[in-house]
Amino acid sequence: MQRLVLLGLAILGLGSWFLGFQADPTRSLYGYLFAFVSVLTIPLGCMVFVLIQHLTRAGWSVLVRRIAEFGMATVPLFAVLFLPIALLGHDLFPWSHVEHLDENLIKKMPYLNMKFFMIRAAMYFVVWTGIAVWFYRKSLAQDANPNVTRQLWKWSTLGIVLFALSTSFASFDWLMSLQPHWYSTVFGVYFFAGCFLAGLAFMSLALMRTSIPLKPDHYHDLGKLLFGFTVFWAYIGFSQFMLYWYANIPEETEFYMRRLEDGWQSISWALLFTNFFIPFFVIMSRHAKRNKKVFAFGCLWILCAHFLDIYWLVMPTSGDEHWINFLPYDLGALLGILALFMVAFNWIMKGQSMIPKGDPRLKESLAFENY
């Protein structure tokens, strides 16, 4: 029944987006890109969580890790959902219009061209799918053979390097190149921080719907990670803004000028509160991290605030002066892709053990106490 409801929401959401596509194909593609990237950050956040736990050989997280593995295993779905961007990307990215290139963009053509863009996108999905499928299958094999654990530890080093490179370049290609004259050396880190927040928030909400014998101490540690990366996201975002604004170089300030006019300034200032101040104070206390209702509210808020951040990154480049007119279609695309992700997540999870029974650190996780 749940799967049918999710499929219905997917049809409803993507159907709504398609109505916008018929009215204005180019503008609606930006909405699809926003929705695609927003939901993709969830399995990517789950992926980096899994890699970090194996890399650090953490014991506390064994009970929560399987949910993250289910989440990251949905990555192949997004290779299919990328097809509209691949087929219609010419309408999204200014650098793909050769007739409009200036001297600076001509110099970037060896990198910014559709053929190489597609090759890189294929490489990202190969890397992400390879990491997700290999670590997921090995984790399932670990249930019967604990000796697999050392393989997971060993290959997490390579996995984290490949993840860092692929997600950074994907953020350059799909988000930063929407304004090809602008560049940022910390944009990949900014995107990573958002991915990790989205993954942690989703994992925490999903765990509350399971029968896994978690203690308040596990939610406390997840809350500490969410709190820490909320501060980290704000630090990276403010550092980028401060340095570029202080330097006052036109091709750098262009990014912020576009987001401080045509109504976007309201969202720009709102991000300070939605993505930093409110989650900072909501989940800062020990009580909030251990109270499921308060913590669930904080996680849901962080997830929605993250989607707003991706909207802020993508939509000002669409050129639509009345962006709110297309908001229902943009939200329809988000609802549709999010519902498809949940269908895939539930399908992968069905019939599988919710706990890595063969992990030698399982007893440590069951007895975990957060002082």
Q: What confidence tier does 324 reach under pLDDT thresholds 50, 70, 90?
A: low
Show the beta-strand stretches assigned E in 115-244.
none
In a domain, 197, yes or no: yes
For 120-167, the pLDDT digits (tens) are: 999 999 999 999 999 999 999 999 999 999 999 999 999 999 999 999
Structure tokens at 217: 């101490």
In a domain, 364, yes or no: no
Token pair 């993505």 in the structure block, residue: 275
**Is it the case that residue 109 has pLDDT exceeding 70?**
yes
Instruction: Please enumerate in sequence order all residues whose Cβ is within 8 A of that of 296, keeping only pairs 6 or more positions apart, or say none.
Output: 204, 205, 208
pLDDT at 321: 62
In a domain, 149, yes or no: yes
In a domain, 371, yes or no: no
pLDDT at 279: 97
In a domain, 355, yes or no: no
Spacing of C-alpha 74 from chain mean position: 13
Q: How many structural domains are present in the chain?
A: 1
In a domain, 214, yes or no: yes
Instruction: Kindly report the pTM of this predicted structure.
Output: 0.96
Please state, in angstroms and rounded to a whole number, the distance separating the CA atoms of residues 291 and 269. 30
Residue 174 structural domain: 2-349
For 243-296, the pLDDT digits (tens) are: 888 888 777 888 998 888 878 888 899 999 999 999 999 999 999 999 999 999
In a domain, 212, yes or no: yes
In a domain, 366, yes or no: no
Largest separation between any pair of C-alpha atoms in the chain: 64
